[in-house]
Amino acid sequence: MDRKALIAMSGGVDSSVTAYLMKKEGYSCTGITMKLFSNEDANVVNERTCCSLKDSADAASVAASLGIPYYVLDFREEFNEKIIHKFIECYETGRTPNPCIDCNRYMKFGRLFAKARELGADHVATGHYARIKQDEASGRWLLKKSADKLKDQTYVLYSLTQEQLAHTVFPLGGMTKDRTREIAEEHGFVNAKKHDSQDICFVVDGDYAKFIEGYSGQTFPEGDFIDMDGNVLGRHKGLIR
């Protein structure tokens, strides 16, 4: 029976090796890059993002070397609504968002999972460092930490449902990041030595307040810290800070 899998390919080394390992396991693979935002729309001029043209080119190069189909799917509207807008709203209302958790919940294992079903794929595979195991006694699918404790990403995957866990593969869960890079170098992948993506993909310099002001067009004035008795304790640089 032909097992089909959609491979979420960001252009990084992890997802590239994931595609290689899935094909090696006998899956009929299709590489997918999720276009989540435009650098210009997100007020970003830095190429060190997950959605740059270079990233797509790297993913396409690896897919071509593996001989698998490759497509870019435009999910910018959904990402803008469910991730970026929520991110800004949280800071505006005094909460702390975690867009990586939301992205996995709504995009990679929401929108992409639905696309896999639409295309008749049995599984979605990603380059997350995590493991999935089925409990023999209960039959439930369990999300377990990866072999590489420094790279473990289970904390952003807690929202996966039983249905999603049953049809998701994390090929890198049992290896270290060093081994992942070794495999990429062994097969001549263009991104074998590419930097790891860190922090929030659409806030490339770590200055989230600057991003919020640039993206929303709003400014957030300075104000006072005041205790319950009305005493001014100090100054702050704006609500979002």
Active site residue 201: yes
Between CA 193 and CA 31 the distance in angstroms is 20
CA-based R_g, the chain, Å = 20
Catalytic residue among 29, 50, 51, 103: 103
- What's the Cα-to-Cα distance from 100 to each of 97, 188, 200, rounded to whole Å? 9, 30, 7
**Residues 66 and 23 sit within 8 Å (Cβ to Cβ):** yes
Between CA 76 and CA 34 the distance in angstroms is 8
Between CA 32 and CA 11 the distance in angstroms is 10
Active site residue 29: no
Q: Which long-range contacts (CB under 8 A, 24 or more apart) does 140-143 make?
A: 141/165, 141/166
Between CA 22 and CA 40 the distance in angstroms is 34
Q: Which residues are catalytic?
A: 103, 201
